[in-house]
Amino acid sequence: MRWPGWSGRCSVAANQSKLIFEYDVEGRHGTQVVGGMRNGRVEDHPRRLPQNLVASERLPLPQVGELELTRHYVKLAQDSFGIDTGFYPLGSCTMKYNPKACERYVKHPGFANTHPHQPIESLPGFLQMFAHLQDWLADMTGMDQISLTPAAGAQGEFAGMLIFKRYFESRGEHQRTVMIVPDSAHGTNPASAVLSGFEVAEVKCADADGIMNMDILNEAIEKHGAERIAGIMLTNPSTLGTFEKDILAVSERMHEIGALLYYDGANLNALLGIARPGDMGFDLIHINTHKTLSTPHGGGGPGSGPIGVKQHLAPFLPHPHVRSTSDGFEFYRPEQSIGRMKLFHGQFGILVRAWIYILLHGPDGLRRISENAIINANYLQARLKDHYPVRYDKWSDGRDRYCMHEFVASCGRLKKEVGVSAKDIAKALLNSGFHAPTTYFPLIIEEALMIEPTETESKELLDSFVDVMLGLHHTARVDADKLRNLDNLRVTQLDETYAARHIDVRWQPEEQGSAAAG
């Protein structure tokens, strides 16, 4: 059966691929340095390497011919999946199309040939670009100042928590050690708080429309003590794709007790030109430029996580920070800075792409991005929810509830009735030519599928995705084993439990591996 959206391309031996090490043949070479290597050792050039750097034994690297090497990596490249090859509805990751214009301009010699060790006087355009981007991000988010230094969203969170810590220390409020985090939060939220020395107080929002309300907040304040609470970390919209409608009351209450609000910018793609975190009362935010501002990401990077602050937190920003002077721009260190978050000046290439992306769209275009992202997500939710239930598709009073840029469907009913899990559906989607949604997150949704279509997908593509999802649901009901027949995948089912309990990321020949295990 051929699902809509499936490319039809499948390797002849798709499930019999080898590791590069398994092509090893003793004595086979792709390139041989004349007089340079014998038996895998440097022997004829003692003056080129100190003796202590010369290997006494042959390195355990595969001996492979150039043709085998080329074919191996070309095949692997053909198996790569990205936004340029197919639909990538990975919830909370905003896998939107990356305009090629951004790639073209970031390769301009003025950007590409810049070196961080150049004298700063030789980089006036570089500093001006940074200053413009800081101003634009501040205007987009309603913050007073922006730091472009953090290298990723999680590092932005960490920087934010360090700023919170330094702020309260500067005020002598050392007792403020509690950070409120909802149960729907990204896992890096509590991790960043703990790494910064805070105690995490998780609050349960799952049974309260999935959002933070005043009853939940006041209960947490009463439990931990208003004088001990440092702040709250929120994502708005939440990881459930729901707007935190009580956010103004929440921010007023937190400021009333002297605490701060942190905004996780993972879902900012739903708010561009519509609402600003600063206007909601947030004191500090991070922005995932690699999501919202369409810089390529996936596979762990690259990322960029600028942070924005209200003026009372500006003295604590990481350095280097850019500011204007009477004759241009300069880097400077804020008076009570938390220090550097990384070498040099942030993720430069990613920031250039974000700057270009904003220039290309302008204010009206940015608003349309969010509007279209919301429309696409609601269209998918409406078409799928009868087969893949959405827990929060109605308010507690029975009113229909629209999602923002993403929604969380559940395979819980399928799992109970026919034994088909969210992982099974995700694998079958991969087998059908689509990337899988985020699975099993947020943890408060049983057998979760978090789906984020982004604004760049067409209705025709969304309809194709729905057709596949409905087809998989039907197959799960009538022949679950057929659903698990993943004949188009090079890798099918991994033993994730074994992998988690026996961590081994180094390849060894079978006989060596067996001996090591023994």
Which regions of the chain are under pLDDT 50?
Answer: 1-15, 513-518
Residues 6+ apart with CB under 8 A from 162: 196, 316, 338
> Given this model, what pLDDT does residue 7 score?
42
Phi/psi for 471 (5° steps) reads -65, -40
H-helix or E-strand spanning residue 129: helix 124-141
DSSP letter (8 states) at residue 393: S
CB contact at 8 A, 164 and 180: no
Residue recorded with tokens 């230094």 = 149
Give the tens place of pLDDT for each residue, 11-66: 444 435 788 988 989 888 877 666 555 555 555 555 577 778 877 787 788 899 99
Q: Considering Cα of 12, then 15, then 19, then 23, what sign does the dihedral take?
A: negative
The span from the CA of 427 to the CA of 435, in Å, is: 9
| Token digits of residue 39 | 């038996």
The span from the CA of 228 to the CA of 217, in Å, is: 14
CB contact at 8 A, 294 and 302: no
> Given this model, what pLDDT does residue 34 score?
60
Give the tens place of pLDDT for each residue, 414-465: 999 999 999 999 999 999 999 999 999 999 999 999 999 999 999 999 999 9
Give the tens place of pLDDT for each residue, 278-324: 999 999 999 999 899 987 776 656 789 999 999 999 999 999 989 88
Extents of the domains making up the chain: 19-78, 124-362
Residue 94, helix vs strand vs coil? coil
> Given this model, what pLDDT does residue 4 score?
42
> Given this model, what pLDDT does residue 500 score?
86
Residue recorded with tokens 């933070």 = 212
How long, in residues, is the chain? 518
Residue 35, classified by CB atoms within 10 Å of its CB into exposed (0-12), middle (13-18) or buried (19+), is exposed
Cα-Cα-Cα-Cα torsion 59, 61, 64, 69, nearest 10 degrees, comes to -140
> In 374-400, which positions are buried (b, 16+ CB within 10 angstroms) versus exposed (e)?
bebbbbbbbbbbebbbbbbbeeeeeee
DSSP letter (8 states) at residue 90: B
| Token digits of residue 76 | 């692997």
Strand-pairing partners, residue 449, are 409, 439
CB contact at 8 A, 184 and 210: yes
- Fold entry, domain 124-362: Aspartate Aminotransferase; domain 2 (3.40.640)
Single-letter code of the amino acid located at 509: P
